[in-house]
Structure 1
C-alpha cells in the first residue's frame, strides 16, 4: 500500500492525511513541534514536562562513567 501524501497549499499549509491523524490520535488544536532535518522535517506532538517525567525510569545506573562515544 502506498504511503499517504500531503500537499502544500498556496497558503503554505499542509493537511495531514486522516489515516496518519487517526493512527497517532492527533486532534484539531494540538501543538506540534516541527524540526528541520537535512532536506525534510520531523513532526512531533508537543509533550509537557509532566508527561516526560519518568522517561528514564529503569535506566542502568550501575556505572558512573559515560564515555563521549556512548552518546549519539
Structure 2
C-alpha cells in the first residue's frame, strides 16, 4: 500500500491526510513540532515539560549515574 501523500499549498500550508489525522488522533489547532531529518522532516505533537512530569514514575533507578558519578 502506498504511503499517504499531501501537497504544499501556494500559502505554504500542508494538509495532513484524514487517515493519518484520525489514526494519530490529531485535532485541528493542535501544536506540532517539525524536526529536520536529512532531506525530510519528522512531525510530532508538541509536548510541554509539564506533560512529561511523572512519565517515569516507578522506573528502576538502580545503576543511574548523575554528573557527580562521572570521572
Q: TM-score, normalised by structure 2?
A: 0.77
Match of 2:2 in 1: 2
1:24-52 deviations in whole A, cap 9, x for unaligned?
Answer: 11111111111111111111111233321
Q: Which runs of 5+ in 1 are unaligned?
A: 67-72
**Partner Cα separation in structure 2 for residue 4 and residue 64 of structure 1:** 42
Report SS of the residue matched to 2:43. strand
Deviates more, 1:48-57 or 1:18-27: 48-57
Give yes or no for the alignment of 1:55 onto 2:20. no
Normalised to the residue count of structure 1, the TM-score between the two structures is: 0.76
Q: Distance in 2 between matches of 1:10 and 1:52?
A: 36
Q: Which structure 2 segments of 5+ residues have no match?
A: 67-71
Identify the residue that residue 69 of structure 1 maps to in structure 2. none
How large is the RMSD of aligned CA atoms in angstroms? 1.7
Point out 4+ residue stretches in structure 1 off by more than 6 angstroms.
none
